[in-house]
Amino acid sequence: APILYWMRRDLRLSDNPALTWVVQQGRPVIPVFCLDEVVETWGAAPKWRLGLGLDVLRGSLEDAGARLILRRGQALDVLRTLIEETGADTVVWNRLYVADERTRDTAVKEALRSDGLTARSFAGHVLFEPWTVETGSGGYYKVYTPFWKAVRDRDPGAPEPAPKEFAAPEVWPQSEALDDWDLGRAMSRGAAVVAPYARVGSAAAEGRLGHFMAHGVADYDSGRDKLAEDGTSGLSENLTLGEIGIRTCWAAGQRAMADGKPGAETFLKELVWRDFAHHLAYHTPHLTSENWRSEWDAFPWSDDNDLAEAWRRGRTGVEVVDAGMREMYVTGRMHNRARMLVASYLTKHLMTHWKVGADWFADCLIDWDPASNAMGWQWAAGSGPDASPFFRIFNPDTQAEKFDPRGTYRRRWLAEGQAKPKETADAFFEAIPESWGLTPGQGYPAPIVDLKEGRDRALAAYKQRDTGQ
């Protein structure tokens, strides 16, 4: 009987424990991707980017003599239907750790087992699964540095090579057409503006990793913080969909360490930040939906509001904040330093709830990762476990002087007031919906909130929360 391999955030053939196991069984394998109850909730850019990834994956599977079966519906219904159609008796997948994914997967596993079928899951999405990293007293980690110390000398295992060939089932089940899913539907700007920035699929991801190891990692320690520079790996859009395996990245980082490349350890640490986000999402599932520290429930953050709308549109009048927001709108990504700045600005200067920001990121980022996004936002807001203290409020202007001293990043993304704006800056105005009613000719806005007043207001609210007065 064939084995169903249920693919989710593991759109790759190498460094893939579930797939390796299936192929070792020597039985026919049917790879399936399901547009299910979890994927349906994704935002515009992540869904659009998923569509591109599935298209490339389908090609790689076909090159290896297999197919990718696409089906839409509740995951369990889809799998049961396919089992009936194909006679499969086994379903396998690589495990995920965020609340909605786990709820779905646990229910699927229980139901399939109660149907008398084999359901097996594997570790493939993180370096070290959340329950394997324990504190001295057997708990989970709430702070990053001890987490890093606990894992840095561990071996996550060598990545497996891609299978050379797949045993095909006698009859392939029907697949729905990817085009019919229209995954770019909500992403009107996608095809035209963002597409050139996306690097899709496993081959592109491996190329990116190789390039970074050859050219980027040595300067990563300082390069990663410079807003105008391409000083990081760019792998997040591939890692979130599993187009490259995390152990492949880890192994490359370890080789660079052994070669004495200066930034290699910092790169490994960043990979472990990603693991840490999943560790937290697993042990404290409310990470993605509520203030991690419930004392923040009493903080007077506002829900969505006009100032937040100006923030989304890159019209706050604070240049580095607006540059970051526009970079994200045009490229589907944002520099990490800019993410920290725009998140601090929204939650502190604009006193708006981090969830408003996290939701907009979830709609705009092609590298959206539910665990890293929530952890990043709760860190910036001060409500997370290992958070930046609320009273440490970034001054965006000082940050811009430090990390964009020549204004290159800001000019790259802000067209207003420039005689000859960069193409990238103009692209923002091509990308935005007409309903925003924005043109570069309108001129650049004055700050919607005075930086000092905003800071003082946030600190006063924080003090009040702290003293309960």
- Answer yes or no: are the C-beta atoms of 285 and 99 closer than 8 Å: yes
414 contacts ligand FAD (rule: CB under 6 A): no
Segments in 162-263 forming alpha helices (H): 178-181, 202-211, 220-223, 236-240, 246-258
Out of 35, 280, 340, 415, the only residue in the binding site for ligand FAD (CB under 6 A) is 340
| Nearest in space to 270 (alpha carbons), one of 217, 338, 334 | 217
Q: Residue 428 contacts by C-beta under 8 Å, 6 or more apart in sequence? A: 314, 326, 329, 330, 413, 415
Name the residue number minimizing CB distance to ligand FAD. 376
Which CB sits closer to ligand FAD, 3 or 380? 380
The nearest distance, CB 175 to ligand FAD, in angstroms, is 29
355 to 374: interface string for ligand FAD, x by CB under 6 A: ------x---x-xxx--xx-
Give the phi and the psi of residue 426 in degrees, each rounded to 5: -65, -35
Shortest spacing between CB 172 and ligand FAD, in angstroms: 34
Residue whose CB is less far from ligand FAD, 176 or 304:
304
Nearest Cα to 34, choosing from 68, 72, 76, 90? 72
Shortest distance in whole angstroms from residue 211 CB to ligand FAD: 11
Q: Interface with ligand FAD includes 393 (CB under 6 A)? A: no
9-37 burial, b if ≥16 CB within 10 A, otherwise e? Answer: bbbbbbbbbbbbebbeeeebbbbbbbbbe
Q: Which is nearer to ligand FAD, 93 or 394 (CB)?
A: 394
Stretch that binds ligand FAD, among 7-15, 138-146, 227-235, 415-423 (CB under 6 A): 227-235
Strand partners, 92: 5, 120
Ranges within 206-225 binding ligand FAD (CB under 6 A) = 224
Q: Is position 105 an interface residue for ligand FAD (rule: CB under 6 A)? A: no
Q: Which of 336, 388, 395, 424 binds ligand FAD (CB under 6 A)?
A: 336
Range in contact with ligand FAD (rule: CB under 6 A) among 132-140, 147-155, 308-316, 376-384: 376-384
CB burial string 348-366: b at 16+ within 10 A, e below:
bbbbbbbbbbbbbbbbbbb
Q: Could you say which of 20, 90, 240, 248 contacts ligand FAD (CB under 6 A)? A: 240
Cβ distance to ligand FAD smaller for residue 16 or 288 = 288
Q: Check binding of 343 to ligand FAD (CB under 6 A).
A: yes
**Cβ-based neighbour number of residue 164 at 10 Å:** 8
Q: Rounded to the nearest whole angstrom, what is the least distance from the CB of residue 171 to ligand FAD in the complex?
A: 39
Q: Do 383 and 291 form a contact (C-beta atoms < 8 A)?
A: yes
Nearest to 365 by CA among 325, 318, 315: 325
Site residues, ligand FAD (CB under 6 A): 224, 232-236, 239-240, 270-271, 273-274, 277, 336, 339-340, 343, 361, 365, 367-369, 372-373, 376-377, 380
